[in-house]
Structures are given as structure tokens and as C-alpha cells.
Copies of this chain bind each other. A is one copy, B any other.
Amino acid sequence: MNYQAILNVIEKELANFDAGGKVPTYIPELAKVPANKFGLNLYCQNGEHFNFGDYDELFSIQSISKVFTLTLAKKFGGKKIWDRVDVEPSGDPFNSLLQLENEKGIPRNPFINAGSLVIADILISELENPKKYLLEFVRKISNDQTINYDESVAASEKENGYRNIALVNYMKSLGNIKNNAEDVLDFYFYQCSLKMSCYQLSKAFMIFANKGKILSTGEKVITTNNTKRINAIMQTCGFYDEAGEFSFRVGLPGKSGVGGGIVAVHPGQYSVAVWSPLLNEKGNSEKGMKALEELTSLTGLSIF
């Protein structure tokens, strides 16, 4: 497979693609990002990688960080985390409170905001310094010590995060948050503020394509079984209430963020990250989805 040639076709084809969405305005720091950014990096099982455009530029990974925190929670919280968060797709938007009220404060899955806040709460209980631990983990699996939080983005979200404050207090009223609401929110806003490039993200996500092992070092950071399960959750829950659409069009497990990034994984083959800031009304990067749809169409490869 000549991946670079295929990527060149996609880049050219989508050069004038009108995504028609918009940059999110509820996080002022994100609203400043130029809408025309576009980059992609594909990392292969054999260590090669291919890319185009702004693939090496840092952006706010936002909800993509939920995959990292879930991975750590599985490691330290074990099976009991599934008593506090479910694994079912949610038919509701990413920040919905509706579902929580119907289901006694148990979030539908760990990738909606409510679920990730519970995961944050678990990590705060399990780890001495979760912010530090998470950062070191992401640096290790990316093999890149330069990765960091963006304090101004974290502060910006804290300033305007009324919906997340509502979510965490609501779950606390139902007994599903054990730590102080402020501490949970602080960690959560930090995790979302991680800045990474498509290159770094695709490298980090190779653990999910490679049965839990870091490609460069061979170190096993998740069990094979947990890798499979996290991929399964990405497949069914990775795109808010557009998970079916992504599965239908792209056919790979993946995760998106409101920073415009999407990462997807073809187990045993590659991991791929794409970035384009304009979001559709479901909160996913429209051009990013299109690029990945083209990728699986042109390669003829999908898990299905």
C-alpha cells in the first residue's frame, strides 16, 4: 500500500472542501485557532509514518484525552470502574444531563463529559498526583518529553465551564463523585488542555493498534484484553451522538475532540490522527471525518 500517495490524493481532494461548520466559541482560547488548519499523520505498525499539511502543529486535544485517562483508570481502578460508568453509546449530546437523571448518576460511557469526570474522580482517588502522572504517561507512549498542558486553555475552560460544573455537582448529589468537585474539575480541565500534534497523537495511539505495546520500546502498557475493550468503546462511543455515522462511514474505532482533532486506529495496521478545526453540529471535525472516510475507501481497508 502506498500510503503517501493516498494521503496526497486526500489532501488535494479536500483542499477546497467546504466543511461548513464552525470553531467552538464557548472556549475562548479555542475560538482563536485559524479555521483553515488541516493536517494528518498516519503511523504504521512497521514504524513508518506518512502525513500532509499541518501534521506537526500543536493543537488542543480536548476530549481525545479521555482515552488516555480511561486507559489509566483501567490500570489503577480495575473492573470496579464499570460500576460507576457504563459502556453503552449515548443517544444524547456530549454534555447532556438528561441521561444522568434517568440513570441515577451513572454516565452512559467514559467518553461523554459526565463519564470522563467520573474517570477523573477515580484517578484522583487512586493516584497521588494525577496531573503529573497523566502527563508522564502521555510523554512515554508518545516518546516525546516536550508534550505539555496549556495552562491558558485550562484556565479559559475553568472560567466558562458552567455545564461541567453542573455535571460534576449533579453526580455528586447522586453519590457518583467521591472527591471535591473543584478538584475533579481542575484535573479534567487540565487533561483537556493537553497540546499535541497529529504526529504525536498517532504515535501515542499506536498502543491501541499494537495490543497495548509502545511501538518504539516494546513496553506493554495495557493488557491485550483492555486494548481490545478500549477500542470497542471507541468504536461505539467515540463520537458523541455521531458514533454510528463515523462507524458507518469510516469503519474504525476512534475518538474526536472539540479542538478539531480525530484519532482512529486500525488494529494491527496503523493509527491515524487528523486535524481541522471546523466542527459540525454534533461537535466533530467535519473535514477530519471526510479525510478518514476517504482513507478507508481508498485503502479498501476497514475493520469490517
Instruction: List residues of A whose CB falls within 8 A of some B CB.
Output: 86-92, 96-102, 108-109, 162-163, 165-167, 169-170, 172-173, 181, 224-225, 227-229, 231-233, 235-237, 241-245, 247-248, 251, 253, 267, 297, 300, 302-304
Contact = CB atoms under 8 A, between A and B. Distances in A.
Given A87-B247, A162-B181, A163-B173, 4 more contacts: A227-B304, A231-B251, A235-B247, A236-B248
Give the 9 A-B CB pairs with smallest separation, nearest first: A231-B304, A89-B89, A162-B173, A166-B170, A88-B244, A166-B169, A163-B173, A91-B91, A165-B169
Contacts of A102: 98
A101 B97 contact: yes
Contacts of A162: 169-170, 172-173, 181
Given A228-B302, A304-B227, A108 B96 contact: no
Given A236-B236, A304-B232, A88 B243 contact: yes
Query: How many copies of this chain?
Result: 4
A247 B225 CA distance: 13
A250 to B, nearest CB: 8
Most chain B C-beta atoms within 10 Å of own C-beta, residue among A108, A173, A304 = A304
Contacts of A172: 162
Contacts of A248: 87, 229, 232-233, 236
Given A89-B244, A101-B96, A251 B228 contact: yes
B243 A247 contact: no
Contacts of A237: 244
A33 B172 CA distance: 25
A95 to B, nearest CB: 8
A244 B247 CA distance: 13
A241 B224 CA distance: 26
A283 to B, nearest CB: 14
A92 B98 CA distance: 12
A101 to B, nearest CB: 5
Contacts of A170: 97, 162-163, 166, 170
A87 B244 contact: yes
Contact of A97 (B87, B97, B253): B97
